[in-house]
Structure 1
Amino acid sequence: MVSTSGKDQPSDNESCYVEMEEEAEYQRQLKLFSECSQEKSIELVLIGEVISGLRSSERFLDIGAGTGNLTVSVSQFFAETTIVEPNERQAGFFRRRYPQFRVDDCRWEEVDLGSDQFDFILCSHVLYYIPTHDWLKTIDKMYSHLAADGTIAIVLQSPVGEVAEFFRKFSKYDVPVIELWRNLTMTYGYQSVQVRYFVNEIFAETMEDMVDLGQFLLLDRKYRGRKDDIGKYFEERHKVDGGYRITQDEILLTIKRER
């Protein structure tokens, strides 16, 4: 997921806004999620399969790099890497630690990449911060920077599974993946759009950590006031020997630009 420097971001409901956690708390939760989940390792395997099918591996664009764990791993397959990361702290980290990367510290809709074209564009868990009515416009901008025979990879939460049930219990948020897939196939063609499904396991040894992970997944700091309810939910449904476990069904959508 991508941080947004504390700025309120629209959810799927145009009349609702997500109140982001303060920067330090968001970073703490993000680090905890990275330590307690298998997501990035599974995601990297699937992305590796996509990359292996590319004709060219010159340029890579990551939209919303987050901790950078996935970004750095994927960058090793490409000659050049560009990052669009609106979080100034994270962008600064990338500039210091990886001076070979080009880093733009602004939101995707604001960035100007000129006529740059990329062989692979990654957008992992970013669309939640954008109103759903702007998703196609957002993806169309990605496509405009996609080189011939290049591929866009979009990772999203599945509308089914244990984390999806948790979402519906507290936030009523439902990721419209089926509608997005249908719109993408109508726009770019059935042969250009593919779907891969994977399951991420999230495990925490303590209730405190599990509640923090639940708040991270819910995105919105307003759920701080429902810590007891979140804890009760996990205690009743996801208590296992040695801690708490919940599975997260996820979807990798890819769009290929034919020559």
Structure 2
Amino acid sequence: MHASAQMSARLDRLAFDSPEYKKAFGTFLKSTDQKKKAIAWLRGQLASMPEREVFLDVGAGSGVITGALAEMFRTTIALEPNRDLRRELERNCPNASVLRETIGGAPLGPAIADFVLCCHVFYYIDRADRLPILRRLLGWVRPGGMLVVVLQSPRSQCSNFLRSFGGSPEDVSELRDSLRREAEINFESTLTTRESHIDAASFEDACAIAQVVLSYGIPDHLEMPTLDELRTLLDENFRQPGGGYRISCNQDFLCLRPR
């Protein structure tokens, strides 16, 4: 393809379970400190918990965070419906009980865990299902325990990048507020934002990361941007003097404790 035609071509919208998404997501993971920052913050919170018997990681992915926190608990249960990710999870967390079901289909009873983690999962859940899913997650928490839901902060450069192409960033505080309006559910909550960054070494890496962010962040009725549009936005806003691109992708940690 001629260079000018290539730059006018639109990015492909990637399906979550496709090999292309897996490859692009791998580029995102190697380019960000989100997991490292999340592990450090979560370990700090867990250190003060009075009981650390059972840890339930919902949407555990490849198990990097799961494994880093599992050593703080006697028992670890991990949910991961994606087959490829589940294989990595089983390798990384050989002592965890790994379930293949989704949140809605998991054969788990109420109040089974001292700590429930749901990290960067709600993007992939239909909006109509999010409140029932959040209720179910909170129902798995034992008295004195906590649920932590992690999403990208809507007040970061990555979220502004998404808005530039018509996307609407998720806001975990909206989930909290929807749950709070349900009178029969009583809980305490805190919301903490921690700084994280994406450091893409090249435009090719930045393009792959953009595909991950935009594929789930732009409504289906909107077109993905062209390579030229993407390059213009990245160069004008995120290009670093020494090369590469740096974008803040801060994380919001919503802690819910049932009363």
Above 0.5 in TM-score? yes
Tell me the SS of whatever aligns to 1:82.
Answer: strand
Is the Cα–Cα contact under 8 Å of residues 30 and 67 in structure 1 kept in the other structure?
Answer: no
Is the Cα–Cα contact under 8 Å of residues 185 and 193 in structure 1 kept in the other structure?
Answer: no
Counterparts of residues 84-103 of structure 1 (less than 5 Å): 84-103=79-98
- Of the candidates 212, 229, 234, which is equivalent to residue 216 of structure 1? 212
Shift of 1:132: 2.5
Specify whether residues 21 and 143 from structure 1 end up closer, same or farther in structure 2 by C-alpha distance, changes over 3 A only. Answer: closer
Aligned to 2:4: none
Number of residue equivalences: 240
Shift of 1:250: 2.0
Specify whether residues 99 and 48 from structure 1 end up closer, same or farther in structure 2 by C-alpha distance, changes over 3 A only. Answer: closer
Tell me the SS of whatever aligns to 1:119.
Answer: strand
Quick check: 1:168 aligned with 2:163?
Answer: yes
CA deviations on 1:132-171 (whole Å, 9 max, x unpaired) are 2322211111122111111100001222221111111124
Quick check: 1:252 aligned with 2:253?
Answer: yes
Aligned to 2:62: 67
CA distance in 1, matches of 2:90, 2:32: 27
Identify unmatched segments of 5+ residues in structure 2. 1-12
Shift of 1:115: 4.8
- Of the candidates 185, 189, 197, which is equivalent to residue 201 of structure 1? 197
Shift of 1:130: 1.3
Specify whether residues 219 and 77 from structure 1 end up closer, same or farther in structure 2 by C-alpha distance, changes over 3 A only. Answer: farther
- Of the candidates 113, 130, 137, which is equivalent to residue 132 of structure 2? 137
Aligned to 1:32: 27
Specify whether residues 196 and 23 from structure 1 end up closer, same or farther in structure 2 by C-alpha distance, changes over 3 A only. Answer: same
CA distance in 2, matches of 1:157, 1:115: 28
CA deviations on 1:49-92 (whole Å, 9 max, x unpaired) are 22122111111111111232111101111111111101012213
Specify whether residues 115 and 252 from structure 1 end up closer, same or farther in structure 2 by C-alpha distance, changes over 3 A only. Answer: closer
CA deviations on 1:17-38 (whole Å, 9 max, x unpaired) are x861553222222222221111
Letter in 1 for 2:238: H
- Of the candidates 80, 83, 86, which is equivalent to residue 78 of structure 2? 83
Tell me the SS of whatever aligns to 1:256.
Answer: strand
Specify whether residues 178 and 96 from structure 1 end up closer, same or farther in structure 2 by C-alpha distance, changes over 3 A only. Answer: closer
Superposition RMSD in Å: 2.3
Shift of 1:200: 0.9
CA distance in 1, matches of 2:40, 2:135: 26
CA distance in 2, matches of 1:198, 1:245: 16
Letter in 1 for 2:232: K
Shift of 1:185: 3.8
- TM-score w.r.t. the length of structure 1 is 0.84
Specify whether residues 115 and 180 from structure 1 end up closer, same or farther in structure 2 by C-alpha distance, changes over 3 A only. Answer: closer
Specify whether residues 132 and 56 from structure 1 end up closer, same or farther in structure 2 by C-alpha distance, changes over 3 A only. Answer: same
Bigger drift between 225-234 and 32-41 goes to 225-234
CA distance in 2, matches of 1:208, 1:102: 38
CA deviations on 1:67-126 (whole Å, 9 max, x unpaired) are 321111011111111111010122133334533211111211111113560011110111
- TM-score w.r.t. the length of structure 2 is 0.84
Tell me the SS of whatever aligns to 2:155.
Answer: coil
CA distance in 2, matches of 1:200, 1:116: 32
Aligned to 1:236: 236
CA distance in 1, matches of 2:232, 2:97: 45
Identity score, percent? 25
Tell me the SS of whatever aligns to 1:99.
Answer: coil
Identify unmatched segments of 5+ residues in structure 1. 1-17
Tell me the SS of whatever aligns to 1:108.
Answer: coil
Quick check: 1:192 aligned with 2:162?
Answer: no
